[in-house]
A and B are shown apart, each in its own frame.
Chain A
C-alpha cells in the first residue's frame, strides 16, 4: 500500500476514465486497512480509489507500477477479488497514506460485484499501455467536457517524461513478457498457481532474495522462461522456447532427412529426436509447435500436413510432386501396386508410400481399385485412354 499517493481524483488532460465500480475495499497484501468502502476508478493512466463516505479521501497509483494482476473468485462469505502486484515505489513518488508496507501487492475486494468487467478492462489497459503514449497535462474535472487548460510549465512535463522513459527502458523485458502473460492469464490459471508456489518456496528458503527480486523472478517464470525445467508450456506458437527448439531440430534432422530421401513422418522425427536427447524428452505438443515455426523461421526443413492429416518433415529442397512422377513410372511398370508393395520396391515407410500414392491420385496420375483384396493403385487410364 505504500505505492499509493494522495490525489484530488481529478483526471488529467489526456487521461480518460475507462470504468468505475462502487463497493470496493482495499487491502494491503493480506492485512485489512482503513480503506473499507470506496469507488474504484480505472483510467488510462491510474487506478484511483475514493472513499464513499469521505470524498476528500482519495488515493491513486499509476498503472505503470503494476507488475501483474490475478483474479480470485468469490467464496462463502468472501467477495471476488483482484490481486494487484506492484513494483516498489519510486523514490520521487508523491506522498501517500503509507510510508512503507511489507507487502508488494494489494487486494481489491468487490463487495458489490463488478469484478469481472473491472478485471477485463484493467487487463486491456495493461496490454494497451495507453499511459505511455498519452502525455498527461493540466488537471481536468471528471465528467466535465470543457477543455479549460492552462498550459503547464514545460519543465515539469519534461521531468515527468524523463521518468517515464527510464521506467519504460527498465521495464521493457517484463512488458514484452506480459504480452504473452495476459493471453496466458486468460487461458492457464494453473500456470499462475504453479509459479506462485515456486516463488513462495524460494522466498521461504533464501532470506537473501529481496521481495523485488522475487517479483521479478515470478514474472520471468511466467514469461515462458527459457531455462526452467519445471515450467510447462501450455500456449503454443511464437514463444522463445519453440523458436529455439525449431532451430535445434533443423540442425539435428538435416542428415537423417538426407538419408531417408528428404522426407520423414513426424512420428519418426519424434522417436529420433527423443532418442538423441536421452533425458530432457520432448512432449509431442512441443515438437508439433516447434515444427509449425520452421517455415516462418526460414529454416532448411519444413512441416507438411497431407490431406489425410499425416504430418511429415521435408527438406526444403524436397519436391514431393516430382517424386509423384517417378511413382507413376514405377506403378506403370508393374501394372498396379498396393502401398505395401510400393513401399518395399522404393525402400520407404508404408505410411509415406501411401501418402505419395494418394498425392499421385489427387494429381490425376493414378486411380484406385478398392476391393476385398485390398487397395491397389493403377495408372489413370480414365484420363489417358480415350
Chain B
C-alpha cells in the first residue's frame, strides 16, 4: 500500500525563511498557505496519527535537519490554528495539546462512503466499523484502511445529514445507512 515514490517536498521546504514566521502580512499569508498545503500532503502520505504539539516539533515536516532549521513552537501553533480554521484539524483536548490533522475533511470522507453505499444499493444495511474500514467489499475504495477515529468522524458527519446512524453492536460499534 505504501507508494514507492518518495515524498516530494515543495521548494519552500529548502528555503530557510520558511521556518521563520514572517512579520510582513502579505508575505505571511503566502507562507501559511504553503505550510497548510505541505502539512496536508505530508499527513496524507505518512498517515499521520493524532499527536501532541510537543511531538510535532521533531517530525520531519516541521524540522528540516539538512537545512538545520526547525519551525518554532509558537509558529507551529499558528500553522495548526490555520489548519483548524480551514476545517482540516481537530483539537482532541481542551488544553489544545493533542491534535489530529485531517487531510480530508470528515464531510468529504462521509460523502465518499455514502457514494459507495448508494452505488452498491446498500441503504438500510448495517455494518460494523471494521467491515467498512477493513472488509473485502471496500478494498478498492479510498476509505479502505481509514483509521477508526477518522471513520467515526466521517460517519458522524453523515449522521448530521440523516444519512446514517451510529449504533452499538455486541462487540463494538456499527452504522446503519439510510
Contacts of B26 in A (CB 8 A): 364, 383
A-B contact pairs, 6 of them (CB 8 A): A369-B69, A370-B20, A371-B69, A378-B15, A382-B27, A383-B27
Q: How large is the interface on B (under 10, 10 to 19, 20 to 34, 35 or more residues)?
A: 10 to 19
Shortest beta-carbon distance, A264 to chain B, in Å?
A: 26
Which one of A367, A370, A376 contacts B27 once the chains associate, using CB atoms below 8 Å?
A: A367
Interface of chain A residues 330 through 386 with chain B (CB within 8 A): 336, 361-362, 364, 367-371, 376, 378, 380-383, 385
Contacts of A378 in B (CB 8 A): 15-17
A367-B20, A378-B17 provided; 15 other pairs, C-beta below 8 A?
A361-B23, A362-B24, A367-B22, A367-B24, A368-B17, A368-B23, A369-B17, A370-B20, A371-B19, A371-B20, A378-B15, A381-B17, A382-B12, A382-B27, A385-B11
Bits for B7-38, please: 1 = Cβ < 8 Å to A, else 0.
00001100111011011101100110010000
Q: Is the interface of A mostly helix, strand, loop or mixed?
A: mixed
Name the residue of chain B whose CB is nearest to the CB of A379. B17
Shortest beta-carbon distance, A308 to chain B, in Å?
A: 12
Shortest beta-carbon distance, A354 to chain B, in Å?
A: 14
CA distance A128 to B68 in the complex (A): 70
Contacts of B69 in A (CB 8 A): 369, 371
CA distance A362 to B25 in the complex (A): 9
Residue among A369, A376, A383 with most chain B CB within 10 A? A369
Which one of A371, A381, A383 contacts B15 once the chains associate, using CB atoms below 8 Å?
A: A381
Name the residue of chain B whose CB is nearest to the CB of A358. B23
Shortest beta-carbon distance, B171 to chain A, in Å?
A: 52
CA distance A378 to B19 in the complex (A): 13
Are B19 and A369 interface neighbours, CB within 8 A? yes
Are B30 and A376 interface neighbours, CB within 8 A? no
Bits for A178-211, please: 1 = Cβ < 8 Å to B, else 0.
0000000000000000000000000000000000
Are A364 and B27 interface neighbours, CB within 8 A? yes
Once A371-B69, A382-B34, A385-B11 are accepted as A-B contacts, the answer to whether A364 and B16 lie under 8 Å apart by CB is no
Once A382-B30, A382-B31 are accepted as A-B contacts, the answer to whether A376 and B16 lie under 8 Å apart by CB is yes
Name the residue of chain B whose CB is nearest to the CB of A372. B68
Shortest beta-carbon distance, A356 to chain B, in Å?
A: 15
Contacts of A368 in B (CB 8 A): 17, 20, 22-23
Shortest beta-carbon distance, A256 to chain B, in Å?
A: 33
User: Which 10 A-B pairs have CB atoms at the shortest separation, nearest pair first?
Assistant: A369-B16, A382-B30, A370-B20, A367-B17, A369-B17, A382-B27, A378-B17, A369-B20, A367-B27, A367-B22
Which one of B16, B19, B22 contacts A382 once the chains associate, using CB atoms below 8 Å?
A: B22
